[in-house]
Amino acid sequence: MAEQATAEPAHAALVSSALALGEGAGVRVAAPELTVVVPCYNERANVRPLVRRLEAALSGLRWEVIFVDDASPDGTAAEALQLAASDQRIRCIRRIGRRGLSSAVIEGALASSASFIAVLDGDLQHDETRLPAMLALLSDGAADIAVGSRHAAGGDASGLGSAWRHWLSGLGIRAAQAFLPVRLSDPLSGFFMLSRPLFDRLAPHLTGVGFKILIEVLLAAGHNVRIVEVPFVFRPRTAGESKLDLLVSMQFAAVLIERLFRGLLPVRFLAFAAVGALGILVNLAALAILTKLIGLGFEWSQGLATLVAMLANFELNNRITYRDQRLVGRRVWQGRLVFVLVCSIGAIANVGIAGMLYHQHAGWSLAGTAGAAIGVVWNYAVSATLVWRAR
């Protein structure tokens, strides 16, 4: 409250001095040279310390920071907005009903009008004091992309914490190196800088899935970019917690697999089909329990077992396949209902088409496969638009 009371007259003074200069109600300020894009989810406690550190590290430069928050329940956005209210260098993009580090970075970078874009984690683990060195490499024309590296000479990855994280990171680095057109010591780094024109050129080729935005950028950039690694010490986290979990690692594998299929089969479809295959097992298990253990008649059992499988598939798809668009709260029930309806129609189509082919002497395996394939494509296509609506 006290802050608002003091902010008001200051603002009024700014407007009147602008009017006095004959510039209308707005004040013209040149775009910054550098935008620091900071994806953040539940990083409230880190917002202020990060801004203070950026101020110290970037003094003398025209810079801005764009926090990209996915409706963090801890009030990260409110914290950033409070700072932004009295400081033009601070901006905040808020996304609702979406999750994902890579897509957050892409949207933050697309909102920049600066000459250069840096990507920096919002948890103080990346070393912001390396930013001027990275900027110098780019503006001198020595590199097209500057990558903060924990594994180059002088860097350090001990802030990763557990032995498990070190192992996982090592595995990921080797997998990524096998796919990348350029050799890098730390291709999994989430800390890098590039020019905005270069980013704009690459942006249409980025999928935005998962955590590994740098990998995507490097894959899209191909051979014709000069990359320089800048060593840095990865600090341990002091507030909040890491969002990198098993599912995120699976998503990383998925991005590489999609690459292997050259985009012919979207990973989302593969995940959806895998969940569907698992659903058949759930269906059979439930059928066995209902007929053998509970002694229910076959038709009733199969009907109930199918429902159980559909509900299980919905849960898995909502948590894995559509993790980035996961339905929550009231919308889960709505989604469940629509999903069951869509899959029921899919099942009818499956049985109908298989039956038709079978009667045309197609052989039971071909008829069954065709019915199932049409069923899964239908379920996927329709639930993508009706259940997990692309927003």
| Contact set with ligand GDD (CB under 6 A) | 39-41, 43, 68-70, 99-101, 104, 121-123, 125, 160, 169, 188, 190, 211, 242-244
Provide the minimum distance between the beta carbon of 272 and ligand GDD in the complex, in angstroms, as a whole number: 21
Provide the minimum distance between the beta carbon of 68 and Mn ion in the complex, in angstroms, as a whole number: 15
Q: What, of ligand GDD, Mn ion, none, does residue 84 touch, CB below 5 to 8 Å by kind? A: none
Residue number, 226 or 243, with CB nearest to ligand GDD: 243
Provide the minimum distance between the beta carbon of 71 and ligand GDD in the complex, in angstroms, as a whole number: 9
Q: What, of ligand GDD, Mn ion, none, does residue 312 touch, CB below 5 to 8 Å by kind? A: none
Near Mn ion in 109-128, by CB under 5 A: 123, 125
Residue number, 48 or 292, with CB nearest to Mn ion: 48
Provide the minimum distance between the beta carbon of 296 and ligand GDD in the complex, in angstroms, as a whole number: 43
Q: What, of Mn ion, ligand GDD, none, does residue 53 touch, CB below 5 to 8 Å by kind? A: none
Q: What, of ligand GDD, Mn ion, none, does residue 68 touch, CB below 5 to 8 Å by kind? A: ligand GDD
Residue number, 44 or 343, with CB nearest to ligand GDD: 44
CA gap 293, 300 in Å, rounded: 14
Provide the minimum distance between the beta carbon of 237 and Mn ion in the complex, in angstroms, as a whole number: 5
Q: Is 149 in the site for Mn ion (CB under 5 A)?
A: no
CA gap 224, 215 in Å, rounded: 15
Provide the minimum distance between the beta carbon of 9 and ligand GDD in the complex, in angstroms, as a whole number: 35
Q: Which residues of 201-220 are buried (b: 16+ CB within 10 A; e: fewer)?
A: ebeeebbbbbbbbbbbbbbb
How many residues of this chain interact with Mn ion, rule: CB under 5 A? 2
Residue number, 125 or 383, with CB nearest to Mn ion: 125
Residue number, 69 or 123, with CB nearest to Mn ion: 123
SS (H, E, C) the chain: CHHHHHHHHHHHHHHHHHHHCCCCCCCCCCCCCEEEEEEECCCHHHHHHHHHHHHHHCCCCCEEEEEEECCCCCCHHHHHHHHHCCCCCEEEEECCCCCCHHHHHHHHHHCCCCCEEEECCCCCCCCHHHHHHHHHHHHCCCCCEEEEECCCCCCECHHHCCHHHHHHHHHHHHHHHHHCCCCCCCCCCCCEEEEHHHHHHHHHHCCCCCCCHHHHHHHHHCCCCCEEEEECECCCCCCCCCCCCHHHHHHHHHHHHHHHCCCCCCHHHHHHHHHHHHHHHHHHHHHHHHHHHCCCCHHHHHHHHHHHHHHHHHHHHHHHHCHHHCCCCHHHHHHHHHHHHHHHHHHHHHHHHHHHHHHCCCCHHHHHHHHHHHHHHHHHHHHHHHCCCCC
Provide the minimum distance between the beta carbon of 390 and ligand GDD in the complex, in angstroms, as a whole number: 17
CA gap 10, 141 in Å, rounded: 41
Residue number, 121 or 258, with CB nearest to ligand GDD: 121
Provide the minimum distance between the beta carbon of 178 and Mn ion in the complex, in angstroms, as a whole number: 25
Q: What, of Mn ion, ligand GDD, none, does residue 188 touch, CB below 5 to 8 Å by kind? A: ligand GDD
Q: What, of Mn ion, ligand GDD, none, does residue 335 touch, CB below 5 to 8 Å by kind? A: none
Q: What, of ligand GDD, Mn ion, none, does residue 244 touch, CB below 5 to 8 Å by kind? A: ligand GDD
Q: What, of Mn ion, ligand GDD, none, does residue 41 touch, CB below 5 to 8 Å by kind? A: ligand GDD
Give the footprint of Mn ion on this chain (CB under 5 A): 123, 125
